[in-house]
Amino acid sequence: MRKGLIIVVVIALVATVGFWIVGKSQPEGASVATVATGQTLPGIPERSIPVEVVRVSRGDIIQETTFNVTYAPNSAVPIIAKVAGTVDRVLVKVGDTVKKGQTLFIIDDRQYTLQVKQAEAAYEAAKANLALAEKGASEEEVEQAEAAVLQAEAGLIGARKGLENAEKMLADRTQFKQAVQSAESQVELAKSQLEAARAGVAQAKSAYENAAAEYNRMQELYNKQMISRQQLDGIRLQYESAKAGYEAAVERLNQAEIGLKAATDALDLAKESYDDPRAMIAQVDSARTQVEVAEAAYQAALARLAMVKKGASEEQLAAIRAQVKQAEAALELARMQLEYTRVTAPIAGQIAQLNVEAGSMAAPGTPAGVITDLSTMKAKAVIPESYINKLSLGQEVVLTANAIPGVTFVGKISSISPMADQQTRQFPIEISVANPDRQLKAGMFGTVSITTGKASDVLIIPVSTVLYRLGQPYVMIVSDGRAKEQPVELGLSDNEYVEVVAGLSEDSVVISKGQHQVQNGSLVEVK
């Protein structure tokens, strides 16, 4: 025991003497190496670390922020038939480009052609009655007038029967009720899809936030040289994947909201059709028009018969002249309805939707399709509240489309919602984009780069020089040949340079290469 203690004391004395001798042998002022604990190892020269530097300069910063967009047509106008009937021929298909006024489909016009002929006959009869009243009639004309009364009476009876049948059909609204039930099912489906999309956003957001936290943690470890660059790159890929997943989930939520609105609109239309079945009403109106025409023809025939038998007074002549005008108006209406059997394009554009085919029913108030104007597109985006007040109407922006790589489009902000979405707390905006070559299609996804900040003649440094610890930015500067950690306050960034608000001056020298290899106080050699 005593012998062991003596050995330990001897070793300690030898070590002390050795360090003293080595220390004495160093020239005065010689540097010594510093270990991680802050203690120095005497006799070991400190090695400098090669670095590259940049000097803080002044410049301008234009900060561009990118948001996801969905493209939609500038206008989408429904194709509406003005008269009811069976579709005879369809002259276009989805995707066709049409001019304003171009015929799209034709409704069976036999009924309306017959109405025109009846109206023409009534008009001619009214004119003949007037001519007869003005000159008097023969016995043969009396017989003809009696036959005309019988014929007009038969026509009136038939027209009244047609009106009765149309009114009965209007009372039976079973088909409209089925349409409402189908639309309600679509709304419920859209609601479930929306809830699923919201859950997807919440899940993707959580994954994104976790990935961001992990990436920041690994960045700090890398800055301390505790992990390799490959490990950091692997974590960064996971972070970028989580970010892309979150953005895709938000876009799916936007599409689900659009789908719910479309389903709700369809339900509203179905309910409106159920409460106000315009197609059947149009048929009733058409039948009522036929009754009016037949009634006018019958009254004209009666008046003509009375006139040829008795002769016309001035009052009768005035009434007959009024009947002529009435018959003329009925003829114009019948001709107009016949013209409406050729359903035309309300605007120039492309057929985006077509709900009719040969043999199907077309009716007023029920959209037969949609025409979109793709010469100008609307890019729809949602903007976080932190950026919304940095945007202005008419502001020029640059857009891309995922399906058209390498091509950019210039647009202008045309609409900024004054109210945030209650679910996402983001503000919808719309951007008008010229589309002369029709490259952009409705439903495409893309991005928009918007200027969200400008700064002129400010201190700037490369973004790559900035390091972070616990979320706080700092840089490594060179002072008296050594690296020094310098906290900074940053401002705007254009992804290449970043504004320095505080922490550096214009004569500061910042390490641009090698900053990850040095520590506070490291001896450096500027290349």
Structure tokens at 427: 């503000």
Q: How many CB atoms are located within 10 Å of the residue 16 CB?
A: 10
At the topology level of CATH, where does 110-173+278-340 sit?
Helix Hairpins (1.10.287)
Nearest Cα residue to 49 out of 518, 521, 520: 518
Average pLDDT of the segment spanning 384-393: 91
Q: What is the DSSP string of 318-330?
A: HHHHHHHHHHHHH
C-alpha distances (whole Å) from 165 to each of 161, 172, 366 are 6, 11, 22
pLDDT in tens, 288-342: 888 888 888 888 888 777 766 766 667 777 888 898 999 999 999 999 999 999 9
Per-residue confidence band for 172, with pLDDT thresholds at 50, 70 and 90: low
pLDDT in tens, 441-466: 888 999 999 988 899 999 999 999 99
Arch. (CATH architecture) of 48-71+375-527: Beta Barrel (2.40)
Structure tokens at 374: 């793709």
Q: Are 260 and 81 in contact (CB under 8 A)?
A: no
Strands 489-493 and 97-98: unpaired
H/E element holding 164?
Answer: helix 139-171
Q: Are 110-173+278-340 and 174-275 equal in CATH topology? A: yes
Q: What span, in angstroms and rounded, lies between the C-alpha atoms of 21 and 15?
A: 10
Cα torsion 51, 480, 476, 503: sign: negative
Q: What span, in angstroms and rounded, lies between the C-alpha atoms of 450 and 481?
A: 42
Q: Are 344 and 394 in contact (CB under 8 A)?
A: no
Q: What does pTM read for this prediction?
A: 0.50
Residue 278 C-alpha from the chain's centroid: 31
Spans of all domains in the chain: 2-41, 48-71+375-527, 72-107+347-368, 110-173+278-340, 174-275
Nearest Cα residue to 99 out of 340, 347, 437: 347
- What pLDDT does 291 receive? 87
Calculate what percentage of the chain has a pLDDT beyond 90.
43
Q: Are 475 and 465 in contact (CB under 8 A)?
A: yes
Nearest Cα residue to 133 out of 288, 403, 324: 324
Q: Are 54 and 37 in contact (CB under 8 A)?
A: no
Q: What span, in angstroms and rounded, lies between the C-alpha atoms of 61 and 458?
A: 8
Helix (H, G, I), strand (E, B) or coil at 374: strand
pLDDT in tens, 244-287: 788 778 877 877 786 787 778 767 766 766 665 666 677 778 88
Q: Are 442 and 73 in contact (CB under 8 A)?
A: yes
Nearest Cα residue to 372 out of 354, 352, 355: 352
Nearest Cα residue to 467 out of 487, 482, 484, 481: 487
The strand pairing partners of 235, in sequence order, are none
Q: What span, in angstroms and rounded, lies between the C-alpha atoms of 419 and 417?
A: 5
Nearest Cα residue to 78 out of 275, 281, 363: 363
pLDDT in tens, 21-61: 344 344 433 444 444 433 445 556 789 999 999 999 999 99
Q: Mention the CATH class of domain 72-107+347-368.
A: mainly beta
Mean pLDDT in the chain? 83
What is the residue whose two structure tokens read 């012998």?
3
- What pLDDT does 314 receive? 72
Structure tokens at 510: 């910042």
Q: Mention the CATH class of domain 174-275.
A: mainly alpha
Nearest Cα residue to 410 out of 386, 443, 433, 430: 433
Q: What is the CA radius of gyration of the chain?
A: 43
Nearest Cα residue to 518 out of 465, 472, 462: 465
Q: What span, in angstroms and rounded, lies between the C-alpha atoms of 437 and 377?
A: 11
